[in-house]
C-alpha cells in the first residue's frame, strides 16, 4: 500500500500517536489509522474528513470507529490528541483550528503534518492563538511535522460566521454567493467560471447537473436565469456542499446538493451537464477526477442532452469528449480558458 509522504513522516514518530481519544483530521491514508488502532487497542479513535472519497475509504475499512463527513465536526467527548493534515489553504487551517478547539482536552496535543510547499511551515504562526507552544518535531520527504500544546481556551464555534459572501452579475442576472474557507474561488468569482457563465447555451431546460459545484455558483446562476430548470449540484468536499446549500438559500432558490466521489452517487439522466471541473487535489495537479467524469458522464446525459465545461486551455479534454460523448464545439478560447460544448445524439 502506497502511503503519502506526510503519513510516512507520522509513522516514523509512532511514539507520539499514543492517546486515550485521538482524532485524525483529513487523513488520506488508511495505513495511519491501522497504526493508531494497533497502538491504541481500545479503538476509541475518531476520524474527520471534508473529502468524501477519503471519508468513504476510512469508514468502510474501519466501521467500528467514529468517522464523520461534514462541514462541522462535533463530538460529545474531548480529544487528548488531534492529528491535522495541513489543508490546501491557510484560511482552511484557521477554520479547522477554530472548529476543533472546543473538543480538545486540557493540555491536549495537536500534531500538524504536511508538505513544505503546501504551507505547513506557517502552522506555528497560524496556531498561536490556540496553543502555548508549537515546535518542529521532524522533517523528511519534503514534509514537516510540528507538535503544539492546546492553551485550554475554548471558544464556541459558529459555522455561520465563517461564510464569505460576494455578488455575481452576468447578463442582467445577479446572485449572492456564500463560501467557506478552502472552497474553490473563496470570496470571489474565478475567471474560468465567469467566462463559462458569459457563454452558456442560449436555451437550458429540464434537469441540470453542476458537477464539482464548489460554492454553487454555476447551479444557482442557471436556476435563477433559466426558470423552470431542475438543478442538482455535487461535490466531493463537505465545505463546498455546505456553501452551495447556503448560496441556494440566499437567493431563494431550490435545488439538490449532494456528496459524490466523481459520479459515484449520480443516478438518472440530465438534459444539461455544466461544469468547471477540478484538476487539483490539494496542492497537486490531478486530472483523474475530470477524466473519469468525462468518460462516465455519457450514460447520465439524456438523448439530445448537452455537456458544457470550462477548462484551462492547456488541458486536452476535447479528444476525451470526442471519444466518449460526441464531437465537441469550442465556444470560446479566451483569458487562458477554453469552453467546450457537445450534444449527445
Residues 140 and 217 both lie in one domain:
no
Residue 154 shares a structural domain with residue 191: no
> Which cell numbers hold the place of 221?
446562476
Q: Please state, in angstroms and as integers, the Cα–Cα distance from residue 167 to each residue in 13, 27, 177, 178, 220, following that order.
A: 47, 34, 6, 9, 12
pLDDT in tens, 146-204: 999 999 999 999 999 999 999 999 999 999 999 999 998 778 899 999 999 999 988 99
Query: Residue 342's beta-bridge partner residues?
Result: 307
Contact 340, 317 (CB under 8 A): yes
Residue 278's CB is within 10 A of a number of other CB atoms, namely 19
Domain end marker among 129, 159, 189? 159
Residues 192 and 271 in one domain: yes
Q: Looking at the structure, do residues 175 and 278 belong to the same domain, yes or no?
A: yes
Classify residue 115 by burial, with Cβ atoms within 10 Å: 0-12, 13-18, 19+.
buried
What range defines the domain where residue 95 resides?
A: 5-159
DSSP conformation letters of 88-144: SSHHHHHHHHHHHGGGEEEEEEEEEEEEGGGTGGGHHHHHTTTEEEEEEEEEETTEE
User: Which pLDDT score, from 0 to 100, does residue 279 have?
Assistant: 66
pLDDT at 280: 46
Weakly modelled stretches of the chain, pLDDT under 70 = 1, 279-287
> What CATH number corresponds to the domain at position 45?
3.40.50.150
- Predicted pLDDT at 282: 46
Sequence-separated contacts (24+) of 223-230 with Cβ below 8 Å: 223/248, 223/251, 223/253, 223/254, 223/255, 224/173, 224/175, 224/251, 224/253, 225/171, 225/173, 225/200, 229/204, 229/205, 229/272, 230/206, 230/255
* Whole-number Å distance between alpha carbons of 251 and 193: 18
Q: Please give the model's pTM, rounded to 2 decimal places.
A: 0.95
User: Which of 159, 178, 205 is the endpoint of a domain?
Assistant: 159
- Helix segments in the chain, DSSP class H: 5-11, 30-39, 52-61, 90-100, 123-127, 191-198, 217-225, 238-250, 288-296, 318-324
- Neighbouring-strand partners of residue 278: none
Whether residue 169 sits in one domain with residue 130: no
Single residue among 135, 159, 183 that ends a domain in this structure: 159
Tally of structural domains, the chain? 2
- Same domain, residue pair 238 and 262: yes
Quote the CA–CA distance of 298 and 289 in Å, as a whole number.
15
Do both 183 and 261 map to the same domain? yes
Contact indicator for 76, 21 with CB cutoff of 8 Å: no
Asked if residue 325 and residue 277 are part of one domain, the reply reads: yes
The reply to whether 149 and 213 lie within a common domain is no
Supply the mean pLDDT for the chain.
94
Contact indicator for 238, 70 with CB cutoff of 8 Å? yes
Q: Which is nearest to 115 in space by CA: 137, 86, 94?
A: 86
Q: Are residues 224 and 91 in the same domain?
A: no
Residues 201 and 246 in one domain: yes
Q: How far is CA 244 from CA 45, 93, 117, 184, 220, in A?
A: 30, 20, 29, 11, 8
- The answer on 270 and 138 residing in a single domain is no
Amino acid at each position: 500500500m502506497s502511503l503519502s509522504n506526510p503519513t510516512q513522516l507520522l509513522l516514523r514518530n509512532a511514539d507520539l500517536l499514543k492517546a486515550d481519544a485521538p482524532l485524525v483530521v483529513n487523513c488520506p491514508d488508511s495505513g495511519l489509522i491501522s497504526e493508531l488502532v494497533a497502538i491504541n487497542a481500545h479503538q476509541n479513535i475518531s476520524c474527520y474528513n471534508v473529502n468524501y472519497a477519503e471519508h468513504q475509504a476510512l469508514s468502510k475499512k474501519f466501521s467500528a470507529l467514529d468517522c464523520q463527513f461534514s462541514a462541522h465536526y462535533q463530538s460529545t467527548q474531548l480529544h487528548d490528541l488531534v492529528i491535522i493534515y495541513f489543508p490546501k489553504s491557510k484560511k482552511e487551517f484557521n477554520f479547522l483550528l477554530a472548529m476543533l478547539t472546543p473538543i480538545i482536552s486540557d493540555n491536549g496535543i495537536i500534531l500538524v503534518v504536511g508538505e513544505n510547499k503546501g504551507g505547513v511551515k506557517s502552522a506555528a504562526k497560524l496556531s498561536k492563538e490556540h496553543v502555548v507552544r508549537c515546535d518542529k518535531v521532524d522533517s523528511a520527504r519534503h514534509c514537516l511535522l510540528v507538535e503544539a500544546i492546546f492553551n485550554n481556551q475554548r471558544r464556541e464555534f459558529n459555522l455561520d460566521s465563517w461564510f464569505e459572501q460576494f455578488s455575481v452579475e452576468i447578463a442582467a442576472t445577479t446572485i449572492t454567493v456564500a463560501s467557506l474557507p478552502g472552497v474553490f474561488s473563496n470570496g470571489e468569482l474565478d475567471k474560468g467560471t465567469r467566462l463559462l457563465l458569459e457563454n452558456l447555451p442560449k436555451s437550458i431546460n429540464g434537469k441540470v447537473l453542476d458537477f464539482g459545484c464548489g460554492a454553487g455558483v454555476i447551479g444557482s446562476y442557471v436556476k435563477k436565469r433559466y426558470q423552470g430548470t431542475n438543478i442538482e449540484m455535487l461535490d466531493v468536499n463537505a465545505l463546498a456542499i455546505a456553501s452551495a446549500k447556503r448560496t441556494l438559500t440566499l437567493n431563494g432558490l431550490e435545488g439538490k446538493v449532494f456528496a459524490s466521489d466523481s459520479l459515484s452517487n449520480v443516478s438518472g439522466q440530465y438534459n444539461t451537464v455544466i461544469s468547471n471541473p477540478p484538476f487539483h487535489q490539494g496542492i497537486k495537479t490531478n486530472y483523474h477526477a475530470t477524466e473519469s467524469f468525462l468518460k462516465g458522464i455519457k450514460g447520465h446525459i439524456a438523448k439530445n442532452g448537452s455537456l458544457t465545461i470550462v477548462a484551462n486551455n492547456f488541458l486536452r479534454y476535447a479528444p476525451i469528449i470526442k471519444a466518449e460523448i460526441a464531437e465537441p464545439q469550442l465556444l470560446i478560447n479566451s483569458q487562458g480558458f477554453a469552453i467546450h460544448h457537445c450534444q449527445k445524439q
